[in-house]
Structure formats: C-alpha cells, structure tokens
Structure 1
C-alpha cells in the first residue's frame, strides 16, 4: 500500500513533535488536543517560548553540557587567580586578620569581664541594712 504524501506544513509539524516528545504525553494525558497543539504551533511558530517546557531530555542535556563548560571556565578563572597569588602576602593578610580578631575578642572580654566581676563580687560585710548596735 502506497503512503500518501502529506502537506509540507504537516511534515514540519511532525518533525517538531519529534523534537518535543512531551507534547505527545500532554495529548495522551488529555491536557491538549492535536488540533490545539497544531494551531498554536502554526500561529506562534516553533521558536515560541511556550514550547520550551515540551522539549526532550536531549535538549536539556545540551544545555547541561553548556552549563558544565561555563562552570569549568569559572573554575579555571579561580585556579588562575590562586596561581597568581603571592603566598607571603596572603600569609601577611591572614596574620593581620588574626590580630584584628584577637583585639576584638580582648575588647569583648573586658566588657564581659566587667559584668562578670560585678556579678561575682562578694556581698559587702554589712549585709543587714538595719543593723543595731548596743550602746
């Protein structure tokens, strides 16, 4: 049996659906009809952002590969910066930071020590405010 040739727009739509297999699932699940999908495709075109959610996993893998390459580029930049650093200069900055933190801890310790000393002071010798002496 010979197959009839389809209209060119139908052939284009079929290839579009092959690139967007989630459309098939949405039609089978009853979310859309083929008529609706075809009309939207015909009116909006294949490049409309509406179709991004229907792309296959292969397209998302390509995006993931591009993202990985971007991440590798970022890591290469960080590695290059680290290689250019002077170790002695970094050590000097770390020591200065450590000294600054120590100074801040000392100031906080003085404030806390003042509060703790007041709390830990023994009560005065005369604890009774109404002390009576015999004459």
Structure 2
C-alpha cells in the first residue's frame, strides 16, 4: 500500500514537531490538540515565542524569581541603611500615642455601655409601669 502524499505545509509542520518534541507531550497531556497547534504554527510561524521550550521557560522563570528575591532583599536592606534611628523612634512613638487614644475612646464606649447596664439594674426596668385593671 503506497503512502498518501501530504500537503507541503503538513510535511513542514511534522518536521517542526520533530524538532520540538515537547509539543507532542503537550498534545498527549491534553493541553492542546494537533489541529490547534497546526493552526497556531501556520498563523504565527516557527519563530514565535510560543514555541520556546517549556524547560527554557521554567529556567527563565526560576532565574527571574531568584532575581526578584534578591532585588526585594536588596530593596529592604537599602531602606534599612537609609533609615534615621531617631526618626524611626519618633514614628513608633506617634503610633503608640495613636493606639493609646483609640484604646481610650474604646474604653469610654465600653464604660458607658457597662455603666448604663449597671444603672438600669438599680432602677426599674420600665420607668412607666402600666398595670392591668
């Protein structure tokens, strides 16, 4: 039985897939279909960044994450070096005073609600007593 001659673009796509075996694994995992992959390849071309190997992308992501962690740490360390201890102490003092004021207000509200319940216990529950005749 003779092999059927495929369209030249399909032949090129097959060669492309042989050069990028990770694409076949994407199809096997169910992430995409051959039809979708062929259409993307046909429309985007072989040089599109989509065809970069996943392992290269993972390595790039890991390197980027390391760079971000290093940058974050450097940023924090730079901020700590540039801090004036007296200014930091002043800010902490201001925050402490603000928290003290908030606690004072809250305790006043709690005292009023607690005081009113105590006052209501000493007097009648209903100031106007209605009796049945």
Please report the TM-score for the alignment, with normalisation by the length of structure 1: 0.63
Which residue number in structure 1 is paired with residue 24 of structure 2? Answer: 24
Give 5+ residue unaligned stretches, structure 2.
Answer: 1-11
Q: Indicate the residue corresponding to 2:93 in structure 1.
A: 95
Once the two structures are superposed, the pairs formed by residues 47-66 of structure 1 within 5 Å of their partners are 47-48=47-48, 51=51, 55-66=53-64
Structure 1: runs of 5+ lacking an equivalent: 1-8, 131-135
Residue of structure 2 in register with 1:46 after alignment: 46
For these two proteins, the number of residue pairs brought into alignment is 114
Higher relative contact order (CA 8 A, sep 6+): 1
Give per-residue Cα distances to partners, 1:76-133, cap 9 Å, x unaligned.
01210111101121111101110111011111211210111110124238x9x59xxx
Which deviates further from its counterpart, 39-48 or 112-121?
39-48
The normalised TM-score by structure 2 is 0.64
Q: Is structure 2 residue 76 aligned with structure 1 residue 75?
A: no
Q: 1:88 to 1:12 in 2, by over 3 A?
A: farther
Distance 1:117 1:73 in 2: 55
Q: CA RMSD in A?
A: 3.4
